[in-house]
Structure 1
Amino acid sequence: MPATVAIVGRPNVGKSTLFNRLVGKRLALVDDTPGVTRDRREGDARLGDLRFTIVDTAGLEEADADSLTGRMRAQTEEAIRAADVVLFVVDSRSGLTPLDKTFGELLRRTGQNVVLVANKSEGTAGMAGAYEAYEMGFGDPVAVSAEHGEGMASLYEALEPYCTEPEVDVDLGEEVADGDEGEIDTSKPLRICIVGRPNAGKSTMINRIIGEDRLLTGPEAGITRDSISVDWDWHGRPVKLFDTAGLRRKSRVQDKLEKLSVADALRAIRFAEVVVVMLDATIPFEKQDLQIVDLVVREGRAVVIALNKWDLIEDRGKAWKDMRETCERLLPQVRGVPLVRLSGLMGDGLDDLMKAVTKVHQTWNRRVSTSQLNRWLENIIERHPPPAVAGRRIKIRYMTQAKSRPPHFIVFTSRPDAVPESYTRYLVNNLRESFELDGIPLRLSLRGSDNPFDKDKD
């Protein structure tokens, strides 16, 4: 098992920049504002032939345990306890501060292996601060510049004694693309992204699912900033859960940091296979909820709608009936989408959620044979033939499925440009009903015949 390396230090010393440098991707959000990182973020790092798990943490600050800053510090302290070695990062340009020395004492009391990293050491001013770091008492400081990639050889020498795993290929994850996947490989993690408006309870639900306080939670809206991935196992099936920042209306997103958080959430959706859109059951189906579902459908991901905070609903029978009717009326593009009642705080309905996720994932991967499609198409056309346009009839010849994930069907017709949108919807709705393709986006393309010898061509 690869070693775990935690990056700690006071705010704004370059921890997330170093994290991105070691994983080789811009995964963690980086900004000049102190306190950008809040949750622990893990990544597969490589440095030369060393392979290890790197953990980015929130900046260490002194604060009351019940405050948001105090809860962030608790997450960092947990990362320190779980690590094999800690990279204690200080800022060479600003020099040592009383806060650096305070947390240096904290690390010394834990008894952990500590490597002191003097970041921002490029240039004369930076090297002077690196020499000052000797007084911390953690041995020779490793002078690096995470932004420019300087000093990585020295960091390699410092980490080599703790990271002795042999070289392996590291899968950093790929964006999910349309394709013909055939059988579902249950040995690979099922990628599930949790999205929704701020304060819908996304992080609380994930903590309840995995059985630990892995993600930072609280009554404040907008706590989550980075999209955090969490590995989990459900009945022997590996799962990768992605927690995301709350998505507000685009007109309200003005702050640069929030724009970065939203972009990170959108990236997580593209990496996912199933997206759970979490709604607050006390105020469900707001305009922003519908826009989020529409975004997920445009990305071609399977959808499950979770009604969180169900424990706060009084007349549950009436509320459930109303919500199902509202869902069918407002979301026709994913007709039959699974609707799950749950309480992330109490832990109710989580098993039902995972059953819905696995079912819709199977539907998302489904393929329908060409023979089945054309028998179905013959009956559909006989029941309701395409209308004549400008006095000329439209002939539909045959149909096939080109891709899955999500299912993409192609209809070959004599006049693809003349087929009304209403008839295309008719085909899609009947496809969904006849082949039980509920809760997923369907794609239907119309193509003309390329046969120049087709005498029946209009």
Structure 2
Amino acid sequence: MSFTVAIVGRPNVGKSTLFNRLVGRKLALVDDTPGVTRDRRPGEARIAGLKFHVIDTAGLEESGPDTLEGRMRAQTEAAIAEADLALFLVDAKAGLTPADETLAGILRRHGKPVVLVANKAEARGAEAGLYDAWRLGLGEPCPISAEHGEGMLDLRDAIVATIGEEAAFASEEAEAKTDVDVADAADGEAEPVYDESKPLRVAIVGRPNAGKSTLINRFLGEDRLLTGPEAGITRDSISVEWTWRGRRIKMFDTAGLRRKARVQEKLEKLSVADALRAIRFAEVVVVVLDAAIPYEKQDLQIADLVIREGRAPVIAFNKWDMVEDRQETLTELHEETERLLPQVRGIRAVPISGQTGEGLDKLMKAVTDVHRLWNTRISTARLNRWLETMQVQHPPPAVSGRRIRLKYMTQIKARPPGFIISCSRPEALPTSYTRYLVNGLRQDFKLPGIPLRISYRKGDNPFAPKKKRR
């Protein structure tokens, strides 16, 4: 990508709608309520062959620096400083407001190139607002409709004219050459079982006010995400990228997950749905618990959701700097973990402090270790030798006087490891025997703390066609 564009404007002018239009997907939450977006969200935009980075920002509001709105404004100004060009959105339907003029002054102070965009230009009576936008002194406004996709080619031309063709298309040849080199290098090589060069996708989940955004800011070493004492600040699932010991990490901050009965507002439902999508997209999910009040019912439901989705879970006991008797507390927490999460015995549980940075290296070590296990593959020969041994130690039960036979076992997938067993009567095999096999897999093949899947398939009866003919 050749340059970065920040979308700025006052609340409810359609910044997130335009962001979704540019990236071609509904990544940002959109609602009629002003102030939905709080953090700055990056994305990869494309308009008729023009590619660039785009940043969605919070709406500008006049407020003190210690308030939530003031911290949101600081995030917007950080996005402007990071960008090469700003798309300044105004509402052509509503006309100019004092907030628009204030933001125009901020953009002038930053000295960045600006494209003035008059959104909602398809509305009746929008011509007056379009002409009124000339008063800002930022050049000719570009009329568009982010909701309906009108005026996108005019917006592309305005961006190219403002930043210059050389800057707009500078990296296309380099990207094309890189793609060819990568294709040539990959030709004829077998894909490794575990590739540490690939980015590791990690989602941070938990109840509201557990310290998820503070934890990610500590990893990055900057105030990238909006934080504060208020519960439920994060709404969008924001992805950030960084490097840990040479390994590329793509980490997702998510909205706090409350009990389903308490989620009533439409906006919170959208935030929860966005968090669930982040969990499904991630490979490892860090469940952040408050060390002072761990393992409430909602914490266990979140952990169970992660396990049912087949993600690799890691428990993080946050706010560890506030715990006094650490050794006794840690022992109790580990005992509770083993007792309350028996479906993933041996799950990693690490005490950390997002505020001070304590324990973050141990947490990332646990994340990479569990990701390696999550990608494990076991040969069919080893599995069948193991299955024979397990049946000798504890044979399957006899149901209705007939012994159940487990004939053959193989691994059909990884991420998480999934196995299939050819069985004479799969419908009669009790769940307790499946738990016996899963626990044996964990212990004998060193697979603690990750979900394991075992399914059964009934073998074909070679005498069935003869019986049918008779």
TM-score, with length taken from structure 2: 0.93
Q: Which residue in the other structure is 1:312 paired with?
A: 322
Residue 440 in structure 1 maps to residue 450 in structure 2: yes
How far, CA to CA, are the matches of 1:305 and 1:207 in structure 2?
18
State the distance in 2 between where 1:450 and 1:129 align.
73
CA distance in 2, matches of 1:353, 1:277: 11
Cα distance in 1 for residues equivalent to 2:456 and 2:192: 24
Change in CA separation of 1:181 and 1:202 when aligned onto 2, cut-off 3 Å: farther
Describe the SS at the equivalent of 1:198. Answer: coil
Runs of 4+ in 1 over 6 A off after TM superposition: none
In structure 2, the partner of 1:405 is 415
Correspondence 1:329-368 to 2 at 5 A? 329-368=339-378
Residue type matched to 1:106 in 2?
A: I
Report how far residue 454 of structure 1 moved: 9.3
Report the Cα distance in structure 2 between the residues aligned to 1:82 and 1:424, rounded to whole angstroms. 54
Residue 44 of structure 1: SS of its match in structure 2? strand
Which stretch of the first structure deviates more once superposed, 346-355 or 389-398?
A: 389-398
In the TM superposition, residue 125 of structure 1 has moved relative to its aligned partner by: 1.4
Q: Is residue 66 of structure 2 the alignment partner of residue 66 of structure 1?
A: yes
Segment drifting more, 205-214 vs 157-166: 157-166
Q: How much does 1:2 deviate?
A: 2.4
Cα displacement (A) at 1:108: 1.2
Give the partner amino acid of 1:191.
R
Q: Unpaired runs of 5+ in structure 1?
A: 172-179
**In 1, Cα distance between equivalents of 2:124 and 2:134:** 17
Please give the alpha-carbon distance, in whole angstroms, between the structure 2 residues aligned to 1:417 and 1:257: 44
Task: Give per-residue Cα distances to partners, 1:325-354, cap 9 Å, x unaligned.
Answer: 111111011110001010000000000001
Say how many residue pairs are matched: 447
Shift of the alpha carbon at 1:181? 7.9
What residue in structure 2 maps to residue 189 of structure 1? 199
Distance 2:3 2:74 in 1: 22
Residue number in structure 2 paired with 1:48: 48
Query: 1-side partners of 2:454 and 2:160: how far apart?
Result: 54
Secondary structure of 1:288's partner?
helix
Check conservation: 1:39, 1:215, Cα contact below 8 A: yes
Structure 1 position 106, deviation (Å): 1.5
Relative to structure 1, the CA distance from residue 181 to residue 419 in structure 2 (aligned partners, 3 Å threshold; closer, same or farther) is farther
Which runs of structure 2 are paired with 1:366-381 in the superposition (5 Å)? Answer: 366-381=376-391
* Sequence identity (%): 67
Q: Distance in 1 between matches of 2:410 and 2:124?
A: 67
CA distance in 2, matches of 1:380, 1:181: 33
Aligned equivalent of 1:150: 150
Cα deviation, 1:10-30, whole Å, max 9, x if unaligned, reads 000000000000000000000
Give the corresponding residue for 2:212. Answer: 202
In structure 2, C-alpha distance between the alignment counterparts of 1:219 and 1:385, rounded to whole Å: 56
TM-score (norm 1): 0.95
Distance in 1, matches of 2:42 and 2:395, equals 56
Which residue identity is paired with 2:12? N
2: CA distance, partners of 1:187 / 1:130: 50
Q: 1:233 aligns with which of 243, 246, 270?
A: 243
Task: Describe the superposition over 1:388-439 as per-residue Cα deviations: whole angstroms up to 9, x where unpaired.
Answer: 0111110111111000000001111100100001111111111111111111
Cα distance per residue 1:174-228 (max 9 Å; x no partner): xxxxxx9852232221000000000000000100001110000000000000000
Q: 1: CA distance between counterparts of 2:451 and 2:333?
A: 21
Q: Residue 174 of structure 1 aligns with which residue?
A: none
Q: Is the counterpart of residue 140 in structure 1 residue 146 in structure 2?
A: no
One-letter identity of the residue aligned with 1:159: I
CA-to-aligned-CA distance 1:4-60 (integer Å, 9 cap, x gap): 100000000000000000000000000000000000000011011111110000000
Pairing 1:86-101 to 2, within 5 Å after superposition = 86-101=86-101
Partners of 1:20 and 1:201 in 2: how far apart?
28
Matched, 1:293 2:299: no
**Structure 2 unaligned residues grouped into runs of 5+:** 180-189, 466-470
Answer yes or no: is the 8 Å Cα contact 1:117–1:144 preserved in 2.
yes
Matches of 2:368 and 2:248 in 1, distance apart? 12
Tell me which protein shows more helix as a share of its residues. Answer: 2
Whether the 8 Å contact between 1:397 and 1:413 is mirrored in structure 2 is: yes
Q: How far apart, in 2, do the equivalents of 1:159 and 1:416 lie?
A: 63
Amino acid at match of 1:5: V
Find the aligned partners of 2:203 and 2:275 in 1 and give their Cα distance: 9
Look up the match of 1:176.
none
Distance in 2 (CA, whole Å) between partners of 1:61 and 1:281 is 35
Q: What are the superposed Cα offsets for residues 288-334 of structure 1, whole Å, 9 maximum, x if unpaired?
A: 01100110111110010000011111111111111111111110111
What one-letter code is carried by the residue in structure 1 that aligns with 2:262? R
Matched, 1:17 2:23: no
Q: What amino acid does structure 1 have at the position aligned with 2:117?
A: V
For the pair 1:424 / 2:434, whether they are aligned, the reply is: yes
Contact preservation (8 Å) 2:93, 2:123: no
